[in-house]
């Protein structure tokens, strides 16, 4: 909901902005949460405009310390701030209660459970833009003065495509394509930007910055999309797992602006609608007379049903997009029932079957990295893209904060990239209008995991001198080792010039080199091995949603086996290395979570519950464990630093049961698990 609120409050004309929440689960709780967030937006949006708030996600803004006021009403700010803060806390309380509230409505809840089984009808519900009044103030507070402030809120649309058993739904790409069709029927804006749900707008000027590239007088009409870097708010200052990846974003992606531009990276990317539709850029479109084709500029574009589907209204929207026309809600010639039927058709599970959706239209299907391939297809048609980096980061999200989840993420990315090489979108064979050097860059994107094979071989070279000469045929030549030293030195010399040009800090470069070696010894070989055995097993990289908890105490919602308690208030207790109960905090500790306190004492299973509140009391040797299920948490208390009250304690995350100070153990656990999984696939196939 913070992602939605940041979009609604961004600095962009209200009548030209629509927010679509595409919920692939069809969960009732998300729809009702969106309704609650839209109601709160009537207060939050004008507050942001009045006081020039940055960032415009309330969860992030209300936790800022030492903020600099840039608004025009400093005398009213503190009163408005306290009122908005109270309203937001009430919103969070209502959102937290939604699951239990819905469960009480058993009939509705039971029907909504079908969504979890992949069986539910398509849903499209709109909350039109309006000049809503802000909620009344809390008792004892003063009303907010929004005189001279635009209080309108952009239109909000909830979209959940139809899910049917036995049909292929094409994961994220299919979800985005359903949203693309619905947005064409409702707003048909010429530009669309997509966010993952864990990202939010951190700079309210970000959309305007992207539009500067799209409307540029020289290259604007050839710009198919604008990609922003991915930045994360929950990464530690040292970025120990290389989540920011600044060498890739601020070096490689920025450098590609000199060719056809960066590739699409899955989130934080503004597209031109026509580029997603598979339409060629203006210089390459065929033209004929206006009288013959009857639409603006005499541009000839194939809009038959075999390409775009059988919705007449959607086909009309494609022709309107060619003339840069926008549709606001229902066209006048259709009544409400007919328009609802059109929207339902657009999100049906069978709509894109027998069409070009997922191949030459929309986001690409049947591949793990649909983002890279979609960007590649757009570049192959002759479009260019731009990399846009702002002084204040445009968007922020959450990243994996333990090594295991980070390596799983890299396996999925690198394995999906290698699948591109063996797909019809191989950079060597396809993309007729791709620049030669752009083709080389895409080739590098698809085969870089293979370099890990050579890194592994070089890693074993020193060991060969320890083996008796009669056992091995020949040791590596000393001259060849010197050759390697010279080559590696030259590579890093070039790298020095590159990072100086891009303005990348030395610490970011060093972290990039460190994590490349970690990935080369674990994630990359795993991805290569998956591709080697794929012809035998018929399986590619296992799709696994990356866990991106903001703290180590965040746990996935589980059903409590004994019917008591709630995972949001799961008991935590401290055990020493021998397993005995301990009270390191001296009896004064409390378990704190989002401002909710639970005093220390006996849990319902008779075990002591505590989170230590002093640095010296939490030395190495203590681990945390949940009382509810007895499953170890992915934490290690060593290195704990005390924080202010009313916040979560940021304990150091690692793989469950593995010491955070021993990365090699985490690596061995990860790699052995991957090998076991691949071996199991081979055994089952044979």
Catalytic residues: 24, 371
Dist CA 46 CA 35 (whole Å): 18
Ramachandran angles phi, psi of 529, nearest 5° = -65, -40
Q: 222-234: string of b/e by CB count within 10 Å (b at 16+)?
A: bbbbbbbbbbbbb
Query: Exposed, middle or buried: residue 23 (CB in 10 Å: 0-12, 13-18, 19+)?
Result: buried
Q: Give the distance between the most distant pair of CA atoms in the chain.
A: 90
Q: Is 50 annotated as a binding residue?
A: no
What letter does residue 242 receive in the DSSP assignment? -
Q: Is 171 annotated as a binding residue?
A: yes
Q: Is 116 annotated as a binding residue?
A: no
CB of 244 within 8 A of CB of 231?
yes
Which pairing describes strands 155-160 and 123-127: parallel, antiparallel, or unpaired? antiparallel
Residue carrying structure tokens 């609120």: 5
DSSP letter string over 508-545?
HHHHHHHHHHHHHTTHHHHHHHHHHHHHHH---SPP-P
Dihedral (CA of 651, 657, 659, 664) sign: negative
CA-to-CA dists, residue 451 to 120, 444, 524, 525, angstroms:
44, 10, 8, 9
User: What residues contact residue 583 under an 8 Å CB cut-off, 6+ apart?
Assistant: 574, 589, 600, 608, 610
Dist CA 300 CA 125 (whole Å): 34
Dist CA 648 CA 629 (whole Å): 21
Which residues are annotated as part of the binding site for Mn(2+)? Answer: 172, 196
Which residues are annotated as part of the binding site for UDP-alpha-D-glucose? Answer: 24, 171
Which residues are annotated as part of the binding site? Answer: 24, 171-172, 196
């Amino acid at each position: 909901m913070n992602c939605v609120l940041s979009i609604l409050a961004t600095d962009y004309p209200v009548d030209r902005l629509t927010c679509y929440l595409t919920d692939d689960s069809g969960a009732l709780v998300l729809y009702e949460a969106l309704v609650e967030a839209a109601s709160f937006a009537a207060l939050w949006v004008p507050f942001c405009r009045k006081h020039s708030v940055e960032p415009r996600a309330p969860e992030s803004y209300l936790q800022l310390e030492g903020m600099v006021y840039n608004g025009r009403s400093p005398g009213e700010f503190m009163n408005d701030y306290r009122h908005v803060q109270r309203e937001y806390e009430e919103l969070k309380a209502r959102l937290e209660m939604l699951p239990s509230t819905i469960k009480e409505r058993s009939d509705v809840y039971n029907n909504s459970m079908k969504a979890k089984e992949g069986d539910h009808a398509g849903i499209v519900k709109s909350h039109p833009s309006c000049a809503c009044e802000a909620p009344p103030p809390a008792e004892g507070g003063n009303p907010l003065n929004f005189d001279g402030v635009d209080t309108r809120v952009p239109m909000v649309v909830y979209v959940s495509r139809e899910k049917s058993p036995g049909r292929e739904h094409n994961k994220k790409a299919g979800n985005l394509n359903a949203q693309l069709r619905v947005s064409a029927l409702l707003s048909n804006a010429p530009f669309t930007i997509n966010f993952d749900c864990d990202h939010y707008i951190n700079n309210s000027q970000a959309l305007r910055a992207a539009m500067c590239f799209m409307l540029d007088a020289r290259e604007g009409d050839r710009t198919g999309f604008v990609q922003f870097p991915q930045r994360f708010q929950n990464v530690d200052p040292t970025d120990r797992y290389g989540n920011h990846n600044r060498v890739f974003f601020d070096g490689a992606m920025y450098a590609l602006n000199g060719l056809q531009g960066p590739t699409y990276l899955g989130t934080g990317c503004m597209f031109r609608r026509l580029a997603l539709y598979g339409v060629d850029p203006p210089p390459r479109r065929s033209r004929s007379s206006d009288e013959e084709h009857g639409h603006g500029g005499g541009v000839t574009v194939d809009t038959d049903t075999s390409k775009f589907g059988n919705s007449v209204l959607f086909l009309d929207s494609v022709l309107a997009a060619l003339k840069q026309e926008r549709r606001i809600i229902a066209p006048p010639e259709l009544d409400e029932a007919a328009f609802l039927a059109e929207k339902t058709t657009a999100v049906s599970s069978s709509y894109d079957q027998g069409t070009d959706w997922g191949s030459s239209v929309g986001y690409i299907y049947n591949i793990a990295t649909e983002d890279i391939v979609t960007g590649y297809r757009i570049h192959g048609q002759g479009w260019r893209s731009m990399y846009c980096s702002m002084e204040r980061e445009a968007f922020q999200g959450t990243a994996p904060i333990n090594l295991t989840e980070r390596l799983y993420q890299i396996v999925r990315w690198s394995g999906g990239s290698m699948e591109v090489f063996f797909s019809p979108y191989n950079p060597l064979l396809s993309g007729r209008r791709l620049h030669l050097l752009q083709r080389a860059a895409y080739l590098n994107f698809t085969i870089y995991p293979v370099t890990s094979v050579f890194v592994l071989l070089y890693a074993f070279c020193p060991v060969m001198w320890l083996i008796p000469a009669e056992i091995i045929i020949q040791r590596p030549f000393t001259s060849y080792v010197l050759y390697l030293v010279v080559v590696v030195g030259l590579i890093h010399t070039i790298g020095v010039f590159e990072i100086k040009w891009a303005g990348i800090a030395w610490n970011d470069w060093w972290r990039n080199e460190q994590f490349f070696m970690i990935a080369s010894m674990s994630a990359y070989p795993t991805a290569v091995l998956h591709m080697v055995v794929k012809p035998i097993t018929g399986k590619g990289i296992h799709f696994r949603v990356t866990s991106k908890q903001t703290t180590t105490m965040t746990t996935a919602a589980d059903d409590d086996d004994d019917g008591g308690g709630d995972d949001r208030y799961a008991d935590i207790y401290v055990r020493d290395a021998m397993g005995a109960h301990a009270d390191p905090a001296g009896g004064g500790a409390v378990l704190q979570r989002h401002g909710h306190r639970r005093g220390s004492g006996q849990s319902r299973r008779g075990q002591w519950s505590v989170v230590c509140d002093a640095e010296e009391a939490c030395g190495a040797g203590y681990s945390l464990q949940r009382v509810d299920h007895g499953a170890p948490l992915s934490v290690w208390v060593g290195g704990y630093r005390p924080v202010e009250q009313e916040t979560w304690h940021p304990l150091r995350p690692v793989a469950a049961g593995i010491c955070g100070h021993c990365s090699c153990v985490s690596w061995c656990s990860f790699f052995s698990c991957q090998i076991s999984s691949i071996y199991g696939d081979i055994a089952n196939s044979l």
